[in-house]
C-alpha cells in the first residue's frame, strides 16, 4: 500500500518534515495554538496587575502543575501573563500529570516575532512570585532547586545553540543565570536536575525564580518541557530523584473502541466494555521505591452514585523504574451499569494510597495521586477526548477524508459534529461537502463508494477552543448495524482543517482519498474530531420507517416570518439555520398547532426538526422577504 505524504508543520512555521512521497496530495498535521490570555500582548515578561501580586511566598516552593486545568500557570505561585502552556500532551513520560511547555508562542497565541522568521532570542518566560529567603542565610548549601526537564517531547526539537535557562533575582534586582542547558543528541526523556543554591546574593526578602528559553521567536519552535519544580531548604543535592508516587496518564475509557457512544447502542452491545481498565503511575524515587496500593472507583457523574470500588494491593511493584502501568481488575460489567437511562457519564478514578503526609514531606504531593476519565453514553460516537493538539488538512482540491464507525444498533443519524480549528487562511463562509457513506472503496478496484448523503455546507468556525460545530443533515438517515463512514471533501485549494487528537490513536479508522483512491495515512497517529449524532435516546422505536407519512405540516412555506406547525403527535420542535447553528426549540404541550415567530431571522434556508414519540422528521423552511 502506498503511503500518504505527511508533514509535521508548526502553526507559524515555514519548514515541514516529509516522511514519504508517493502521492501528489499532502496530509498535513499542524500543531494548534495553546489557550490564550484575554488582552495579553506578545511580550517576553509577565503582566502586572495579577491576582495575589503582593503575595510573598515562603519555602518550600513546589508545583508539579497537576492541578492546572485551563492551560495557564497557577497565579498563586507564578506571575500571570506567561506564554508557557500547562498541558499533558506535549511531552513523553511526564513526571506527574501535566507539565509546562516553553516555545515561541506568546500568551496571546501569537509568535513573539512573526516578521522575522529566523529571529532568535528570549521567548517564553515563567517567573515565580517573590519569596522570602532570609531565614535560609545560615545554611546556603542546604537550599536545593530540583525539577524535571525534557527537550522537544512531541514538539519541535531545540536547535544547536538554543538554551533553557534558570535564573534567580539578586538582592540588587538583577536576573542572574544560575544554570542553562542545551539539548544533547541523546537527551530524549525527562531528566532530573538538582541545583544547590549557595550564592548569598539570592538570600533576600524578594527572591524570585525564573525559567526561560532562548530560541526561534517566530512560532511553535524549540520546545522545552518542565515538570515538578521543587525549591526548599535542608535537601540533599546529591539525590537523583524525589520521593513520590504520582499518576501520570489517565485511566482508559471504559469502552474498547470509543470515548463515547449512544446509550441505546450501548445497551444493545455491552460487550464493548473493556475487560480491564489501565492507568499509568510514576515511581519517581529510584533509590527506595515503595509498594503500590490504589483504589479504582467507578461512579455515575449525573447522580453522584458510586457504582464500584476496587482496592488493589500490589506489593510486587518495587522495581526501580519511572513508569508503571497499573490495572483495575474487572468490575461486574455490565451488571453494575444503570439500566433504562437516557444519558450516562461514567467516571473512573485511579487513587494512589501512598501514605504521604504534607507535614512529613513539607510539600503537598497528594494532588498528583488521583486521575480520572469520564466515558460518555449519550447519543453520539466519539474516538477523541475532546481536546485537539493538532489540525489535519489536505493541500489538494477535492481531497476527501473519512472516518469509519461500527454501528451497534440500527438507528437514525440526524447530525454530524465536527471541530474546525482556524489555522492560517480564514475559510469562514466558504463551502465544503459533508459525506455519509455506507461503504468506501478501500484499496481501489472496480467497486464504487456506496454514498448515502452528500450535503454542501457553508463553513462557520466555533467561537471557542475545542468547540464542535453541530451540522443537521438535510434528511435523516436510517443506518443499519455495521460499518459506515462520515467525512468531508475540500472544494478549493485552501486547506480545510479538522481537529486531530494526538492522545488516542485511531488511525486505523481514518481513510483519505486523492486521485480516486482510498488509503490509510501512514506515519501519523491520533483520532479525527468528527462525531456522528443519532436521534435522542427518548425515541425508542427502532423499526419505524422514517419515510412514512409526514407527522406534521408547516405553513406558509416560504414565509416572511410567522409559521404554523400542525400535527397530532409532535413532542419537540427544533430549528437550525443552513450551517447548523441552533435557532430555537420548543417542547410541545398541545400538538394540534404550534406557532413560531421568525421575523427576526434573515432571508435563507432553515431546517425544522420534528420529533414525535417514535419518529424524527426534517423539513426545509424558506424565509423570504
User: Using one digit for the tens of pLDDT, what is the confidence trace for 305-347?
Assistant: 998 888 777 655 544 455 666 666 556 767 888 888 989 999 9
Rounded CA gap, 386 and 372, in Å? 15
Rounded CA gap, 576 and 471, in Å? 9
Q: Which CATH number fits domain 250-378: 3.30.310, 2.60.40, 1.10.10, 3.30.379?
A: 2.60.40
Confidence of residue 614 (pLDDT cuts 50, 70, 90): low
Task: Give start and end residues of each alpha helix (H) in 534-621.
Answer: none
Q: Which residue is listed with cell 414525535? A: 612
Task: Give start and end residues of each alpha helix (H) in 149-296.
Answer: 263-268
Q: Are strands 224-232 and 144-151 parallel, antiparallel or unpaired?
A: antiparallel
Confidence of residue 237 (pLDDT cuts 50, 70, 90): confident
Domain limits, the chain: 57-240, 250-378, 388-534, 553-623
Nearest Cα residue to 409 out of 276, 542, 239: 542
pTM over 0.85: no
Q: Which residue is listed with cell 457504582? A: 307
Answer whether 207's CB lies under 8 Å from 250's CB: no
Using alpha carbons only, what angle is made at residue 484 by residues 483 and 489, rounded to the nearest 5 degrees?
A: 150
pLDDT of residue 13: 34
Rounded CA gap, 214 and 72, in Å? 21
In angstroms, the Cα distances linking 604 to 284, 559, 573, 597, 600 are 61, 10, 19, 15, 12
Specify the higher pLDDT residue, 593 or 369. Answer: 369
Q: What number of CA atoms fall less than 13 Å from residue 364's CA on the CB side? A: 5
For range 391-418, the mean pLDDT: 92
- Long-range contacts of residues 274-277, Cβ cutoff 8 Å, at least 24 apart: 275/330, 276/327, 276/328, 276/329, 276/330, 277/251, 277/252, 277/327, 277/328, 277/348
The reply to whether domains 57-240 and 250-378 share a CATH topology is no
Tell me which of 171-175, 206-210, 375-379, 386-390 is least confident.
386-390
Specify the higher pLDDT residue, 604 or 122. Answer: 122
Confidence of residue 25 (pLDDT cuts 50, 70, 90): very low
Residue 382 DSSP label: B
User: Domain 388-534's class?
Assistant: mainly beta
pLDDT of residue 536: 80
Confidence of residue 545 (pLDDT cuts 50, 70, 90): very low
Cell output for 507? 488511525
User: Domain 553-623's class?
Assistant: mainly beta
Confidence of residue 22 (pLDDT cuts 50, 70, 90): very low
User: Structurally, what CATH architecture does the domain formed by 57-240 represent?
Assistant: Sandwich (2.60)
Cis preceding-peptide flag for 556 (omega within 30 of 0): yes
The helix (H) or strand (E) run that includes residue 361 is: helix 358-361
Rounded CA gap, 523 and 19, in Å? 7
Amino acid at each position: 500500500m502506498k503511503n500518504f505524504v505527511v508533514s509535521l508543520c508548526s502553526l507559524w512555521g515555514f519548514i515541514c518534515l516529509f516522511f514519504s512521497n508517493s502521492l501528489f496530495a499532502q496530509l498535513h498535521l499542524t500543531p494548534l495554538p495553546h489557550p490564550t490570555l484575554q488582552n495579553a500582548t506578545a511580550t517576553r515578561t509577565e503582566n502586572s496587575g495579577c491576582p495575589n501580586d503582593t503575595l510573598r511566598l515562603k519555602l518550600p516552593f513546589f508545583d508539579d502543575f497537576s492541578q492546572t486545568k485551563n492551560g495557564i500557570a497557577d497565579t498563586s505561585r507564578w506571575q500571570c501573563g506567561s506564554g508557557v502552556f500547562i498541558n499533558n500532551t506535549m511531552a513523553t513520560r511526564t513526571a506527574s500529570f501535566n507539565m509546562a511547555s516553553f516555545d515561541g508562542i506568546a500568551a496571546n497565541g501569537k509568535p513573539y516575532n512573526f516578521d522575522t522568521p529566523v529571529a532568535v532570542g528570549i521567548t517564553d518566560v515563567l517567573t515565580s512570585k517573590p519569596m522570602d529567603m532570609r531565614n535560609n542565610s545560615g545554611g546556603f548549601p542546604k537550599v536545593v532547586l530540583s525539577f524535571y526537564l525534557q527537550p522537544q517531547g512531541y514538539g519541535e526539537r531545540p536547535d544547536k545553540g538554543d538554551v533553557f535557562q534558570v535564573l534567580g533575582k539578586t538582592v540588587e534586582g538583577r536576573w542572574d543565570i544560575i544554570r542553562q542547558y542545551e539539548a544533547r543528541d541523546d537527551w530524549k526523556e525527562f531528566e532530573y536536575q538538582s541545583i544547590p543554591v549557595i550564592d548569598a546574593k539570592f538570600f533576600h526578602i524578594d527572591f524570585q525564580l525564573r525559567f526561560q528559553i532562548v530560541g526561534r521567536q517566530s512560532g511553535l519552535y524549540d520546545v522545552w518541557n518542565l515538570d515538578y519544580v521543587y525549591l526548599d531548604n535542608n535537601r540533599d543535592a546529591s539525590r537523583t530523584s524525589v520521593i513520590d508516587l504520582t499518576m501520570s496518564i489517565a485511566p482508559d475509557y471504559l469502552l474498547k473502541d470509543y470515548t463515547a457512544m449512544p446509550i441505546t447502542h450501548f445497551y444493545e452491545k455491552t460487550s464493548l466494555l473493556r475487560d480491564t481498565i489501565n492507568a499509568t503511575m510514576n515511581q519517581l524515587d529510584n533509590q527506595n521505591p515503595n509498594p503500590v496500593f490504589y483504589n479504582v472507583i467507578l461512579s455515575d457523574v449525573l447522580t453522584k452514585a458510586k457504582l464500584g470500588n476496587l482496592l488493589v494491593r500490589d506489593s510486587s511493584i518495587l522495581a526501580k523504574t519511572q513508569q508503571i502501568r497499573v490495572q483495575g481488575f474487572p468490575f461486574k460489567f455490565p451488571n453494575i451499569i444503570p439500566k433504562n437511562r437516557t444519558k450516562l457519564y461514567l467516571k473512573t478514578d485511579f487513587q494512589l494510597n501512598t501514605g504521604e503526609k504534607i507535614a512529613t514531606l513539607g510539600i503537598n504531593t497528594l494532588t498528583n495521586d488521583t486521575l480520572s476519565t469520564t466515558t460518555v453514553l449519550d447519543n453520539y460516537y466519539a474516538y477523541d477526548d475532546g481536546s485537539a493538539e493538532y489540525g489535519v488538512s489536505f493541500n489538494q482540491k477535492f481531497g476527501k477524508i473519512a472516518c469509519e464507525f461500527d454501528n451497534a444498533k440500527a438507528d437514525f443519524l440526524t447530525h454530524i459534529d465536527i471541530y474546525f480549528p482556524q489555522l492560517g487562511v480564514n475559510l469562514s463562509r466558504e463551502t465544503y461537502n459533508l459525506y455519509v457513506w455506507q461503504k468506501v472503496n478501500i484499496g481501489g478496484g472496480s467497486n464504487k463508494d456506496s454514498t448515502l448523503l452528500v450535503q454542501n455546507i457553508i463553513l462557520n468556525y466555533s467561537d471557542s477552543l475545542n468547540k464542535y460545530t453541530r451540522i443537521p443533515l438535510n434528511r435523516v438517515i436510517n443506518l443499519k448495524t455495521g460499518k459506515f463512514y462520515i467525512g468531508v471533501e475540500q472544494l478549493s485549494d485552501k486547506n480545510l482543517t479538522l481537529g486531530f487528537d494526538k492522545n488516542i490513536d485511531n488511525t486505523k479508522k481514518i481513510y483519505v482519498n486523492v486521485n480516486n483512491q482510498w488509503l490509510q495515512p501512514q506515519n501519523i497517529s491520533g483520532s479525527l474530531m468528527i462525531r456522528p449524532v443519532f436521534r435522542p435516546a427518548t425515541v425508542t422505536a427502532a423499526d419505524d420507517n422514517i419515510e412514512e407519512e409526514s407527522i406534521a405540516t408547516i405553513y406558509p412555506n416560504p414565509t416572511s416570518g410567522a409559521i404554523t406547525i400542525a400535527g397530532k403527535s409532535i413532542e419537540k420542535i427544533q430549528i437550525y439555520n443552513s450551517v447548523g447553528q441552533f435557532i430555537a426549540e420548543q417542547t410541545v404541550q398541545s400538538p394540534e398547532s404550534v406557532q413560531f415567530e421568525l421575523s427576526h431571522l434573515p432571508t435563507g434556508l432553515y431546517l425544522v426538526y420534528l420529533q414525535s414519540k417514535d419518529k424524527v422528521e426534517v423539513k426545509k423552511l424558506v424565509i423570504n422577504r
